[in-house]
Structure 1
Amino acid sequence: MTFDIKSRVKELEEELITLRRDFHMHPELGLEEHRTAGIVEKYLQDLGLETERMCGTGVIAMLKGGQPGKTLMMRADTDALPITEMTDHGFKSKTPGVMHACGHDGHTSMMMIAAKILVENKDALKGDIKFVFQPNEENGCALEMVEAGVMQSPAVDAVIGTHLMTGLPIGTVSADDGPVMAEANVFRLTLKGLGGHTAVPEDSIDPILGAASVIQQLQAIQTRELSPHKAVAIVFGSIHAGQAANIIPSKVELQGTLRCLFSSKDEPGENVLDRFERIVSNICAAHRMSYELEWRFHDPAVVNDPGVSAIVRDAAADVVAGTDHKIVPYVTMIGEDFCRFSQEVPGTFFFVGVGNAEKKTDYPHHHPKFDIDEDGLAIGVEMHVTSAIKYLNGQMQNEPA
């Protein structure tokens, strides 16, 4: 299969950026992506693809290649976040309190343009491509799509997806083997003491003092109880207690996340969640407090398949050839529900760098000033197209001829 992918991507770059900016101006929260889904649906139908809906605002389209072969699934996410944008762009969000602060507007537009290029060359493809535009990634809709049959009819053989990363410099690409994104567990911990007057603290049981011990001592799991080779991050994002300076409250509510690059529940012996509760329980006993602990499991770690990753890295070598760009290692403790797809079939989630301090696109994800260097969009499109062609028209590493 021979055609100049770079030249075609360059020709479509203006359309690519226009799509991204339009989505950026009109962000929609998870399962409310009605405008976005409608635009995606019409675009794919105009390419001659049949589409279907799943989970309300999810859009799926099948591209039948000119020759028989495997089925590759390509996934992009479409939802935005409940954040008020603080950039000065002319295309900033027009929806109060909602913005694309994670790059999903870029993911959606990149896969739309990739679909156009692949449709133009479908006769040369040895197999089929299932394009999946997934809603509500921020709240884990991938599992619902799997349960609704997204991996079937036809059965998917492999899956790839991408994320634009401001933590990576513009022009870099990463597609490591093994764990690349973390398992995410959300906790709500309520510490219960005995309220009273701050003038006579001996008559009370101060849950704030106990909370200080809990917050500090739980960090020992990372630094003293697990090997430094096992990545764990325990972070408190919310603490609420009391309403007045001279009143000891009766309880403190703490919320946060526990993230790890392994399965927290499958550890031999005392797993990391059990360690968490042991420390909480003993500190509460020492402070004469009681507690309630609730866990909400979000998603497992994203673990890249070595065979598919080898193909994606091979594609990246073509995409960045002859430039100052490079293929780099990258692992993050951010969670991603792409793992639900790659648990079903071999898959790889690759990263495209869009960080650029000069363009002020180095703010972290989910920040009100989050933005991307739009030069990375074309790299993302080319990665999609090249990876798909190499998977369908080539062979996976170690796969028999």
Structure 2
Amino acid sequence: MEKLFAKLEEHYEEMVEIRRHLHQNPELSFEEVETPKFIAAYHEKLGHEVRTGVGGRGVVAKLKGGKPGKTVALRADFDALPIQEANDIPYKSKVDGVMHACGHDGHTATLLGLAKVLNSMQDELEGTIVFIHQHAEEMQPGGAISMIEDGCLEGVDVIFGTHLWATSPVGEIGYRSGPIMAAADRFQVTIQGKGGHGAQPHRTKDAVVIGAQAVTNLQQLVSRRVDPLESAVVSVGAFEAINAFNVIADTVKLTGTVRTFKEDVRELLEKEIERVVKGTCIASDADYTYNFYRGYPATENHLEETEFVAQVAQGVPGVTEVKEVAPEMGGEDFAYYLQHVKGTFFFTGAQNVDWDVTYPHHHPKFKIDERALLIAANTLGAAALAYLKQGSAQQSQTVKVK
């Protein structure tokens, strides 16, 4: 393990360079062209077995160790967001309106740096490591489903992944068994009233008033329909009714998100949103249409693998605290990998506590402390090697028993 840590320390500057290159050249979900080319070329130069166009735009590289054993998959995403960067930094995004505002550039740099170091240790590896570089995490349906369907998990025994977390201090590893990130769903409601002159509201069915009442009524769902011991979010993010100042709206469109951890709560809210909207519209003699779009399911970590990584992280250089964290209401399509193989997804702190302001993920001034790249690489690498070594030892004991 010490050899791994020493070599990663030597390659830290390269990881930073890769991260900054990707940060300057971001690509949106399902529009990634140059990024997967860059990733594939890096692995090909190392001599890895490389598949491109996996599930559309994904890249999968495989490193077979010098000794037989199990197969560990490590995943990093590489898409950016439709955000105009507001940071004044030398490596600011060169693409107008597109920015790496969630750390995916750092995820990719971490995995590439780790791949290079593990490659140099190939003869010592007791199994196989699969590097999954996933496109389109930020936009549903995401890239994970199509990559899985295209065989990225074939032969994989376990999968590990991490997210650089800008609101947790550098040195902190956050883990949790069970749900760690929420199911992320979207709903859309169109309320059809009867428009008219603003001076004659009695001749109309004011869609704005009806829509406003519906939004107010929806706020009672979590507080009055969901068990207080459960967690859920219902948020209306968009309310569209564009008219002249003296026109009563004919139509209003509401769009929002639902976040849950349990399937029964998810199903409940899907039904209850429509019930509330229907009742509100009946009271005002208006019509409506309702659509509920299921997004990523909850990301549910497996107990044994989560505890394994938490234990390994205790001995990783740069890690100052390993703590069980509360689940996050954000969504992650890493959830799909965990539905097919065992594994865990954890947070690697990337906040510099000396900075005056910490900006959250998806903010125009989002930034990370790049020391987190090395910590993430150390933790993922240590988990992979420890798992392979454990698997080799178990196999040896089985052979002896026979």
Query: Normalized against structure 2, the TM-score is what?
Result: 0.93
Quote the residue 2:167 is aligned against.
167
1:217 maps to what in 2? Answer: 217
Other structure's SS at 2:354 match: helix
Does 114-123 or 336-345 show the bigger shift?
114-123
- Paired letter, 2:369: D
Read off the aligned partner of 2:350 and give its amino acid letter: V
The verdict on how the C-alpha distance between 1:52 and 1:10 changes in structure 2, with shifts beyond 3 A counting, is: same
Paired amino acid for 1:146: I
The one-letter amino acid paired with 1:349 is F
**Counterparts in 2 of 1:209 and 1:94: CA distance versus 1, 3 Å:** same
> For residues 48 and 37 of structure 1, what CA distance do their matches in structure 2 show?
17
Deviation at 1:360, TM superposition (A): 5.6
Q: What is the Cα deviation at residue 122 of structure 1?
A: 2.3
Per-residue displacement from partner, 1:331-377 (whole Å, max 9, x unpaired)?
A: 21111111111100112111111123533672111111111111111
- Alignment length, in residue pairs? 393
RMSD: 2.0
Number of the residue aligned with 2:386: 390
Counterpart CA distance in 2 for 1:367 and 1:266 is 28
Counterpart of 1:75 in structure 2 is 75
Q: Which residue of 1 aligns with 2:281?
A: 284
Which residue of the other structure, out of 344, 347, 352, is the alignment partner of 2:343?
347
Residues 219, 395 of structure 1: CA spacing in aligned structure 2 closer, same or farther, 3 A cutoff?
farther
Q: Which moved more, 1:380-389 or 1:64-73?
A: 64-73
Is this contact kept in 1: 2:93–2:99, CA < 8 A?
yes
Match of 1:146 in 2: 148
CA change 1:361–1:375 in 2 (3 A) is: farther
**Equivalent position SS for 2:23:** helix
Task: State TM-score, norm by structure 1.
Answer: 0.93
Which residue in the other structure is 2:111 paired with? 111
- In structure 2, the partner of 1:184 is 184
Q: Percent identity?
A: 38
Whole-Å separation in 2 of the counterparts to 1:306 and 1:395 = 17
CA distance in 2, matches of 1:151, 1:45: 20
Query: Which ranges of 4 or more aligned residues in structure 1 deviate by more than 4 Å?
Result: 264-267, 398-401
Amino acid at match of 2:225: E
Measured after TM superposition, the shift of residue 4 of structure 1 is 3.2
Change (3 A) 1:320 1:291: farther
Provide structure 1 residue ranges, at least 5 long, that are not aligned to the other structure. Answer: none
- Cα separation, 1, equivalents of 2:303 and 2:341: 12
The whole-number CA distance in structure 2 between the counterparts of 1:356 and 1:222 is: 35
- The whole-number CA distance in structure 1 between the counterparts of 2:175 and 2:129 is 20
- 1:395 Cα deviation after fit: 5.5
User: Are the aligned partners of 2:159 and 2:341 in contact in 1 as well (CA < 8 Å)?
Assistant: yes
2 CA distance for matches of 1:166 and 1:136?
A: 20
